[in-house]
Structure 1
C-alpha cells in the first residue's frame, strides 16, 4: 500500500523526535531553563541564515543548514557531552559513529549515506561549510552564557583559557564575528563569570 521508502522516512522522522528530550547544559537566553538539542539545532539554522554573510568563504547555505540541523542527532544514542567536560572528550566518539550509523541508517540507503556524509563533514571541520557551521555551534552557547551571568562558565574548572580555546573555532569560520565573541569572553572575566586561571 505504502512505499518502503516512505515508511523508512516516516520511521526516521519518528525516531528523531527523541532529540527534543536531549537536555544540554546551556540555558535559554535570560532564563533558568535548559535548552534541548532540537532548540539548539533550530537556533543554529536560523543563525546560519542570518549570519551567512560573515562566513570567511562563500558557502552552500543549504548544506550548512543541513549540518547544523543533523549534527547533534547522534546524541539521541550517545548523549550530550558538555564541551568543558574533564572526563569525556567532546570530539567524535565511537558511540557517536554507532549512533550515526543506526539512526541515519533507518532512512533509505541513498538518504542515509548523504546525511552520514554531511555529519562526517561537519565533524571533520575542514570545508568552508563545516567551519562556518562549527562557528555557529560555538557562538550560540557563548551568547547564552553571556546573557545568563556566566551560565555554564560557572562550572568547576571552566577558565578563560578553556573558553577561549574552544571558542576560537568561531574565527575559523566567521572571522568578522570573532572580535565580538572575544569581547563577550573578556567581559565574562571582568564580571567575574570566568576565572582568569
Structure 2
C-alpha cells in the first residue's frame, strides 16, 4: 500500500466522523435550551480532562485520556445516543456499538484501526487509570449541565435521585476529589428541588 493509499483511507475516516456533529444528545448546553451534539460533548470532555487531570486518583497519561474521550462516542454514528439517565434503557456497551466500532475504525489503515479499537475497548472496560478518569469526565459533564439548567433533563424526564446517583457514583473511581464536589452538587440540587427524591431514596 502506498502512502497515498493510506492517506485516502484516513481521509475517508475523517469524512465519516463528521457525522458525529449530527448526533444530538438529550442534554443541553450550560445555561441553554440548545441540545448538545456528540462532537461538542467529546471536545468538552477532552478539554475537561486536560484541565482536571491533577485530580485523578492515579497519575494518568493525559494524551491517552484525551484520545479515549475523542474516540469513545464515534460508535454512536451508527448506534445512536442512549440517554445516560434513561430510566428504561441501560447506557452500556452493546453489540450494536461493537459492530459500529469495527466498521468505523475499519475505515482507517490497519495499524490505526487496531489502535483506535484498542483504545475504545479500554475505555469501555473502565479498568485502567486512564479509562477510569476518562469515564469520570463522561459522567461529570452531564451532571454539570443539568445543574446549570436548573434540573434540565432530570426535570424534563422526571429522573429520580437514585437513578442520577447510580449513574454518577462511578466518578469516584477516577477522582475522589471530583466525586466529593459532585456529591455536594447533588445534595444542593435536592435541596433546591431540581432533583427529586422518591420514597425509595429517603
Is the TM-score greater than 0.5? Answer: yes
The residue that corresponds to 1:85 in the other structure is: 86
For 1:1-197, what aligned pairs fall within 5 Å after superposition? 3-197=4-198
Per the normalisation by structure 2, the TM-score is 0.95
Tell whether the 8 Å contact from 2:87 to 2:159 is kept in structure 1 after alignment: no
Shift of 1:157: 4.5
Cα distance in 2 between the residues matched to 1:73 and 1:99: 8
SS at match of 1:25: strand
Q: What stretches of structure 1 move > 6 A for 4+ residues in a row?
A: none
Per-residue Cα deviation, 1:2-33 (whole angstroms, up to 9, x for no partner): 71100000000000000000000110000000
Per-residue Cα deviation, 1:54-84 (whole angstroms, up to 9, x for no partner): 0000111111000000100000000000012
SS at match of 2:25: strand
Shift of 1:155: 3.7
Q: How many residues align?
A: 197
In the alignment, structure 2 segments of 5+ residues that lack a partner are: none
Shift of 1:179: 1.2
Per the normalisation by structure 1, the TM-score is 0.97
SS at match of 2:85: coil
Cα distance in 1 between the residues matched to 2:170 and 2:152: 20
Cα distance in 1 between the residues matched to 2:80 and 2:108: 21
Cα distance in 2 between the residues matched to 1:48 and 1:161: 26
